[in-house]
Amino acid sequence: MSEKRWADMAIKLPLDARPAIARGMRLQREPVQDAHVLLYPEGMVKLNRSAGAIMGRCDGVRTVVDMVADLERAYNQSGLTGDVLAFVAMAVGGHWLEARP
């Protein structure tokens, strides 16, 4: 997937959205691949560490703001809002995540 296509998929998303794994998809840890994977019919996306960390927090309860705070704490970083929001927006645009109000 080229960067351009990714950008095309991104949608506007408010910071108080509560993203959840899209219906019909499943996120799980795969020891053999040493990674989180996102599973859907006849397909799979292997996530890198950052994407896995973000997707793992998309439980439909936490807002994007909550997730950012949690990630910044867990990884001892700051200023992640832009990256997290951009990823979540793309993942919603690509139907990996559903944004619940």
Partner 1 sequence: MSATPVGHALGAPGAPPGGARATAQPARSVGPPLWLLLELTYRCPLHCVFCYNPTDFANTGPELATADWIRVLREARALGAVQLGLSGGEPLARDDLEEIVGEAHALGFYINLITSGIGMTERRIKALKGAGLDHIQLSFQDSTREMNDFLSSTRTFELKTKVAALIREHDYPMVLNVVLHRHNIDHVGEILAMAERMGAQYVELANTQYYGWAWLNREQLLPSRAQLERAETTTRSFRERVGDAMQIYFVVPDYFERRPKACMRGLGSVFLAVAPDGMALPCHAARMLPGLELPNVRDTSIGAIWYDSQAFNRFRGDAWMREPCRSCPEKVKDFGGCRCQAYLLTGDADNADPVCDLSPYHALVTEAVARAERAAGTSAGAAHAPTLTFRDHRVSIPVVTEGTEVHGEVAPSAP
Q: Is 63 near partner 1 (CB under 8 A)? A: no
In the set 30, 59, 61, 73, which binds partner 1 (CB under 8 A)? 30
Cα torsion through 27, 32, 35, 38, rounded to 10: -30
Beta partners for residue 30, in sequence order: 35
Rule CB under 8 A: is residue 51 a binding residue for partner 1? yes
Residues 6+ away with beta carbon under 8 Å from 27: 21, 36, 37, 38, 39, 55, 56, 58
Site for partner 1, rule CB under 8 A: 1, 5-6, 9, 23-24, 26, 28, 30, 32-33, 35, 37-48, 50-51, 54, 71, 75, 77, 80, 83-84, 86-87, 90, 93-96
